[in-house]
Structures are given as structure tokens and as C-alpha cells.
Structure 1
Amino acid sequence: MHQPSRARELVVLGTASQVPTRERNHNGYLLRWDGLGVLFDPGEGTQRQMTLAGVSASQVDAICITHAHGDHCLGLPGVLQRLSLDGVTGPLPLVHPAGADEYVDRLRSASVYDDRLSVDLRPVAAPGPVLELPGLTVHALPLQHSVPTYGYRLVEPDGRRMLRNLLQDKGIGGADVGRLQREGMLRTPGGVVELADVSEPRPGQRFAFVMDTAPCAEAVALARDADLLVCEATFGDAEADVAAAYGHLTARDAATIAREAGARRLVLTHFSQRYRDTAPLLAQARGVFPDTVVAHDLDRIPVPHRVR
């Protein structure tokens, strides 16, 4: 369904909240991870935004929807229909809150088309792992919003980093390195070499996606040690009372979550239409968490390189 690639980046398809603007499409985020594509919250217009961003529907290997508000899911019919048009047969995992079942069903049958795509529905009713993808496990935790809402955490398994100097000391090179990685040990003229003798632990990377929610412990848990945290920042400090009333975060709230979770980089998005200029929101967030960026439609934001 996708072309091989080693890129790890977030393709931003839309950054608006309830009302799109001239500058911002409804939500949509494609995480590209070593050739894998995970689409989050395809709001209205996502199919067109993908074209503008230079990515195809056939690069989507899974879809995760946080909740059934329209700015997070109204683009689903177009994406599914485009996949069928492009000859993709699936199965395509579609993760969503169990409480959104009826809305997802309606979106899947919103119009007449030649449906050749097998959709693997994955309704989420409890926290925990919800999907296994090549090299990634998708976890879900409930958030605090006005409708059933889940955030997502993608975790790469821990591995080991081969140490060149130790391999040279043991006289190991070429195909023997791969054999040692696969089998965990290697017989050499100098004796048996264990994988641990010539390598060190390499923590897997993490990606977190936190949308419409009040501040909560689950948001921090999703973001724990994330290399890249994508988080709603619907309001600024002056509208903190509005954020609290509607179950949303301010930019400062998002930064506080990132700081408490020990995240590496924070991406702010999902802005209210009242903010044409997001510079004040960025300043408020950076006062709490310096490594913060504001997402703009069609941005490509790289996942920070692995920490050695």
C-alpha cells in the first residue's frame, strides 16, 4: 500500500478546530514512519489536502479517529472512496472510540461508490494496545471531552545499537553482524560472542496524539517520553475559561502536558478560528516548554532523531 521509505515525519493536512478558515483546513495528520502511513482525524477536505501535500491515499496503512466531532472525521468518506478508486483492497485498520460506532458506519456509507476496500474496524472501549503495525504498537487512552474521545500513543519496540569498535575488536563484520543480530550469538575463532557483548540498549521512539480534552492524567500518560507530541491548543490564556467550559486545552495547558510528560518536541494545532495570528499562543507555550512549534497546513515536521 505504500512505497518503502525511512522518513519519520508528520505531514500536517489541517490545523483548524470547529470552523475552517481561509488559512486552515479542518484537522488531518499523516504520520509517515519508515514507509508506514497512519492517518489521524481526517476532517473535511482531507483528500484534497493530501493532494496539495503530495501524498496519496494509497500511502495510508491505518486510520485513527479520536472522536466523532465533524472536524475530526468528516473527511473519512472521501479518503475511503479514494482508496477504493486507487485499487487498494486492504484490509485497512480503522481505530475509533466504540461510542462513535454509528457515526463511523454512516460515514462509511455516506454515498454510492464502487467499494472494493476491506475496512478492519477496531472500536476502542478500554485503554490499552489497540493495533499492531510493522514496527509500531498503537495504544489508546480515554480523554476528557464532551463525547467519547481517545488519544493515541505509538511505540516502537526497544532494540539494540551495534557498537562498531567492539565489533572490530571481536573481528566481526559483513554478514556476520546481521547473523549476530538475528540469532543473538555468534561462534568466532576467538570464542562465542553474545549480542550484548558488542551492543547497547536502544530505546524505541514514541509518538503521541492528543486532541480535544480537558487537562488530565491520561493526556500526560499518552505523551510520556514522546519524541513528538501533537496536541490541541484551541485557545490562549485569555480564553482559559472557555477552554475549561468546552473540554479543550490552551496552548499553555499543552505545554504543561509536554513538560510533565518529558516529551522532546511539542506540535501545537487545532486552533480556534478567532486566532488568525498564532504567535501569542506559541509564546505562551514556549514560556513553559521551549521546544514547541506551531503547525501550519501542509507543513512537514520531522520526528526528532533518536537520542543516543
Structure 2
Amino acid sequence: MSLRELVVLGTASQVPGRTRNHNGYLLRWDGEGFLFDPGEGTQRQMLLAGVAASAITRICLTHFHGDHCLGLPGVVQRLSLDGVRHPVDAYFPASGQEYFDRLRHASVFHETAEIRESPVAEDGEIAEGEFGKLYARRLDHPVESFGYQLVEPSGRRMLPEALARFGITGAEVGELQRTGSLRFGHRTVTAEQVSVVRRGQRVAFVMDTRLCDAVYELAERADLLVIESTFLEAEAALAQDYGHLTARQAARVAAECRVGKLVLTHFSQRYDNSLSFYEEAAEIFGGEIVVAEDLSRVSVPKRR
């Protein structure tokens, strides 16, 4: 059975708090584990959340501010310590190659895990696999930052009544799914005749940025949008100055882009009431809103 969920490892911004660790998000996607922005303390948070290092197959860094990457050394070393055998692909802004090198080799350790580096230099597709395609888009932040979008290819859902009408049963159904058509004497039945399109799911991950076109491109029709909301609208000018979003802005993106579930995170330490973020977003976005909490799990919504 496939598993698709977001494991929240940390939700703070620049300064962690008593209940909020620095950033860290593991997206479980069937057989893949995408670790986004492992901030300081991620290795311990993984332990508390019951996430093994072997669950990580890809690491995605949006940028090289400390709250988004200082946990990378511990994660990299844990991969080797635990003897993870599969390769782990790492995506990060190419302009920060020097910082990635420092973090990857921050101290002495016996490296056995295979880390395959994939620096991101421009917008577009950066990876493809059974999970679908992974895209990156450059955001608007004081340092170069990229957002990520996971897109599953569309498939087809077989209709039992249509299959029965043509007398297609058992192994014939599987063959039709694989080949796209079946021949019965002089008659050919195509998959389109007995199925409907099943749209692939989408997940978007948007961290530190001002509002820009890339934010909307990443969020478009996302089933799950994980997005920073560092400030409340009362501090909108401050958010603009420092290259961040407010909860209201994040909700506006979700509403305009027809998002399924909105996950707010990356909260400034100045706030001690997370309910305010929910209330502000709910004024704009009528869908499901999650104010992320450390060690919580957020399911990817069912297909729409």
C-alpha cells in the first residue's frame, strides 16, 4: 500500500523556540522520501518522529540560510552511520556549491553512503523517476532560493461497468492497462473506451520568498502546498523587507491556484499564538488549512 504524507520535523524560522525546531520536512511518497530543508536538529527530530535515515532518498535545499541547512551535516553522516545502501540525490542552488561542500564535510567521519549532487542553476525539470517529475523555480529572496514542485504523471482509472460491457476480466484488465488496447477477433478495445483520466497528484514546497510569479507557478493546482508564512499581515512591510510571506499572502496564493490543502509553516519567534495564522488564512482560503506543528503528520489529500 502506498504512503503519501508530510512528516513535519521543524517549523521555526531564524530562531528555534521551545516547541518549534528549525525547519525540516520529510515527504513520504510511495517508495521515495524527499527531505526538504534540514535545519539544525533535524537528525534528532527524525528520531522523535520515528523516521529512519534509510527513508531518505532525496534531499532538497531551497537556499543556504542556516535555519534551512545547518542540519545537513548530521543527516549526511547518519546516512553512512546507518549503512544506507541506496544512493541519495541532493538538490541545492548551484550558487551555494561552496556552502554545500562545507556542510557535507563539516567534520571527520567515515563516509560510505552515496550522495549524488545535483546543483540547480535554472528553472525547470531537475529529476524524473517512478514518482513523477521534480521541478525547481527561482524565488525572490535576498539570497538565491528555489522552490520545488513534485508532479505525478496522469494515469487512467478503469471503469468496472465499461469493462463488463466489453467482457474484459481477470488478466485481460492488466494487459489493457499495460498495452493500451486489446483485440477480440476483428474488434479492438482501447483503454480510453473503458477508463477515465486520473490526474496525477502535485505537491509544492515554497520557502523563503516574497510574492512572485514563481510562487504561483509552483502552487498551481497543488494537492498539498507547504508554504512559509513567517509573518502575520500586520507585519507585511517587514515581510517585504526581509523577503518573506504573510499568512494572508500564502492563503491568497492557495485560493488563486486552486490548492487542495494548505500547510503554513516557518513561523517567526515573535508569535506565540499559532491560531492567529489559521484565522488570517481562513479569511481568504476556504479549503483545508494546517498550521504545522513539530512532529505532526499531514496526509496528502485524496485525488480530486
Matched, 1:6 2:2: yes
The whole-number CA distance in structure 1 between the counterparts of 2:259 and 2:34 is 20
AA in 1 matched with 2:87: P
Give yes or no for contact 1:209–1:230 (8 Å, CA) kept in 2: yes
Match of 1:301 among 275, 298, 304: 298
> Which residue of structure 1 lines up, in the alignment, with residue 109 of structure 2?
113
The whole-number CA distance in structure 2 between the counterparts of 1:77 and 1:162 is 46
Offset at 1:290? 2.4
Give yes or no for contact 1:170–1:190 (8 Å, CA) kept in 2: no
Match of 1:201 among 178, 189, 197: 197
AA in 2 matched with 1:23: T
Match of 2:207 among 207, 211, 222: 211
Match of 1:125 among 112, 121, 125: 121
> Which residue of structure 2 lines up, in the alignment, with residue 234 of structure 1?
230
Aligned residues: 303
Offset at 1:190? 7.8
AA in 2 matched with 1:298: L
Match of 2:154 among 148, 158, 161: 158
Counterparts in 2 of 1:81-100, with a 5 A limit?
81-100=77-96
SS of residue paired to 2:142: coil
SS of residue paired to 1:121: strand
1:48-76 deviations in whole A, cap 9, x for unaligned? 11111111010001010000001001111
SS of residue paired to 1:204: coil
The whole-number CA distance in structure 1 between the counterparts of 2:130 and 2:43 is 25
Counterparts in 2 of 1:136-147, with a 5 A limit?
136-147=132-143
Give yes or no for contact 1:16–1:272 (8 Å, CA) kept in 2: yes
Match of 1:72 among 60, 68, 72: 68
SS of residue paired to 2:28: strand
SS of residue paired to 1:10: strand
The whole-number CA distance in structure 2 between the counterparts of 1:34 and 1:117 is 22
Offset at 1:117? 1.5
Divergent runs of 4+, >6 A: none
Matched, 1:286 2:282: yes
> Percent identity of the aligned residues?
57
The whole-number CA distance in structure 2 between the counterparts of 1:83 and 1:199 is 43
The whole-number CA distance in structure 1 between the counterparts of 2:103 and 2:56 is 18
Please report the RMSD computed on the Cα atoms of aligned residues, expressed in angstroms: 1.1
Offset at 1:7? 1.1
Offset at 1:261? 1.3
Between 1:169-178 and 1:263-272, the stretch displaced more is 169-178
SS of residue paired to 2:128: strand
SS of residue paired to 2:13: coil
Give yes or no for contact 2:255–2:286 (8 Å, CA) kept in 1: no
SS of residue paired to 1:248: coil
1:244-298 deviations in whole A, cap 9, x for unaligned? 1100000001111111211111100000001111111110111001222100001
The whole-number CA distance in structure 2 between the counterparts of 1:122 and 1:286 is 38
The whole-number CA distance in structure 1 between the counterparts of 2:131 and 2:179 is 19
Matched, 1:53 2:49: yes
State the TM-score, normalized to the length of structure 1: 0.96
Offset at 1:91? 2.3
AA in 2 matched with 1:293: V
Give yes or no for contact 2:29–2:131 (8 Å, CA) kept in 1: no
**Runs (5+) with no aligned partner, structure 1:** none
Counterparts in 2 of 1:256-267, with a 5 A limit?
256-267=252-263
Give yes or no for contact 2:39–2:70 (8 Å, CA) kept in 1: yes
The whole-number CA distance in structure 2 between the counterparts of 1:127 and 1:93 is 18
Offset at 1:175? 1.2
Offset at 1:187? 2.0
AA in 2 matched with 1:299: S
**Runs (5+) with no aligned partner, structure 2:** none
The whole-number CA distance in structure 2 between the counterparts of 1:11 and 1:52 is 11
State the TM-score, normalized to the length of structure 2: 0.97
